[in-house]
């Protein structure tokens, strides 16, 4: 009889564990605004369904001068979120999507050792939007990578164990194919991205270490095996995978990261998907209407196996769809 009761209890706990895991945790997304004050968002951050805030901090902000670090905003955000019993998820930003914005430190662009530090990249900001430009770090150069990796070590020494996790931004980059940056190769770029997340993983011993993976330059349908190699590496080295966009079954994504998230998501430590402003510009081809909360949520959870959703506060979507869903407990309780 006792053995039967123990088995029954184990089955009950297993079923409840499975039911709990079907609901992704929610982190509200905040961009790289150095004047951002999370206290202004107390009401929404206090909603029980919200686990915390994902905040973007640029490399330039955190290292304003070479080897001189300023983590004051992270310290303030950790302290405030802790007062609400919430957690901070850091997005460490090294690339920009606007021509006048640089997210790498100034010394990286001025010191000849780093060959300009960045290269101009092209970005597709959403359906019906004009292509724009920004700046990506020269991650194929070891001198640039080593500076970024030093930041990882200093951050870990200060915040390891205090934050929910940290992620590096998307792997996608698109250069002018007629005038590629000096020294750039597709293999060199892939190797540099893989090295960065590996070093970050070894720097932090606690929390989620995540790489946003969406595309790799020069690759389509895993024809260079970059995507498959990256996912295999993540599986064997306790690295979480995420992505900066959710557009259900969009062809470009279906020929790149989405099938791998579908295939490996349940085995990865964590999958974290970001629903960002540009995602709201796409229409569902089945209805010719813009994607809804239910479209984003169910695709992220069921196809991409997302266990965390990073959701922006873009209006009018936030007030009309996301906020009611948060208050209706569609998300796992924090």
Phi-psi region of 128 (alpha: psi -120 to 50; beta: other; left: phi over 0): left
Average pLDDT on 169-190 reads 95
Q: Does domain 24-327 have CATH number 3.20.20.80?
A: yes
pLDDT attached to residue 6: 41
Contact 220, 255 (CB under 8 A): yes
Residue 10: which pLDDT band, with cuts at 50, 70 and 90? Answer: very low
Q: What is the mean pLDDT of the chain?
A: 92
CA distance 265 to 148: 28
Q: Which residues pair with 25 in a beta bridge?
A: 308
**pLDDT tens string 198-232:** 999 999 999 999 999 999 999 999 999 999 999 99
Specify the residue for token string 């970024």: 148
Helices 226-236 and 186-203, axial angle in degrees (round to 10): 10
Per DSSP, 68 falls in state B
For 172, how many CA atoms within 13 A lie in the half-sphere containing its CB?
A: 21
pLDDT attached to residue 22: 66
Residue 125: which pLDDT band, with cuts at 50, 70 and 90? Answer: confident
Residues 6+ apart with CB under 8 A from 154: 69
Average pLDDT on 53-81 reads 98
Q: Which residues pair with 90 in a beta bridge?
A: 55, 166
pLDDT at 246 > cutoff 80? yes
Helix, strand, coil percent values for the chain (each to nearest 5)? 40, 20, 40
**pLDDT tens string 143-154:** 999 999 999 999
Contact 145, 195 (CB under 8 A): yes
Specify the residue for token string 């089955």: 11
pLDDT attached to residue 162: 98
Domain ranges of the chain: 24-327
Specify the residue for token string 């490996």: 264
**pLDDT tens string 128-139:** 888 899 999 999
pTM value is: 0.92
């Amino acid at each position: 009889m006792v053995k039967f009761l123990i088995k029954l209890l184990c089955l009950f706990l297993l079923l409840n564990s499975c039911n709990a895991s079907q609901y992704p945790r929610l982190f509200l997304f905040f961009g790289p605004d150095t004047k951002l004050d999370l206290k202004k968002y107390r009401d929404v951050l206090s909603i029980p369904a919200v686990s915390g805030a994902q905040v973007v901090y640029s490399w330039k902000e955190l290292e304003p001068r070479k080897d001189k670090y300023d983590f004051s905003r992270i310290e303030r955000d950790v302290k405030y979120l802790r007062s609400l019993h919430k957690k901070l998820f850091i997005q460490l930003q090294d690339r920009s999507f606007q021509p006048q914005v640089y997210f790498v430190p100034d010394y990286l662009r001025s010191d000849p050792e780093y060959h300009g530090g960045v290269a101009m990249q092209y970005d597709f900001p959403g359906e019906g939007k004009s292509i724009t430009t920004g700046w990506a770090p020269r991650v194929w150069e070891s001198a640039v990578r080593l500076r970024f990796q030093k930041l990882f070590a200093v951050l870990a020494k200060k915040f390891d164990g205090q934050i929910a996790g940290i992620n590096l931004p998307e792997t996608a980059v698109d250069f002018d194919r007629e005038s590629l940056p000096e020294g750039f190769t597709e293999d060199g770029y892939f190797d540099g991205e893989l090295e960065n997340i590996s070093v970050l993983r070894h720097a932090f011993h606690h929390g989620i270490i995540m790489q946003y993976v969406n595309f790799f330059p020069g690759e389509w349908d895993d024809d260079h095996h970059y995507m498959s190699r990256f996912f295999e590496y993540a599986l064997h080295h306790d690295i979480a995978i995420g992505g900066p966009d959710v557009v259900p079954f969009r062809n470009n994504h279906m020929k790149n990261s989405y099938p791998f998230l579908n295939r490996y998501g349940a085995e990865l430590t964590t999958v974290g998907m970001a629903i960002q402003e540009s995602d709201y510009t796409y229409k569902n081809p089945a209805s010719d209407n813009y994607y809804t909360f239910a479209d984003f949520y169910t695709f992220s959870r069921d196809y991409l196996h997302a266990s965390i959703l990073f959701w922006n506060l873009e209006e009018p979507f936030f007030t009309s769809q996301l906020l009611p869903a948060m208050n209706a407990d569609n998300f796992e309780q924090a």
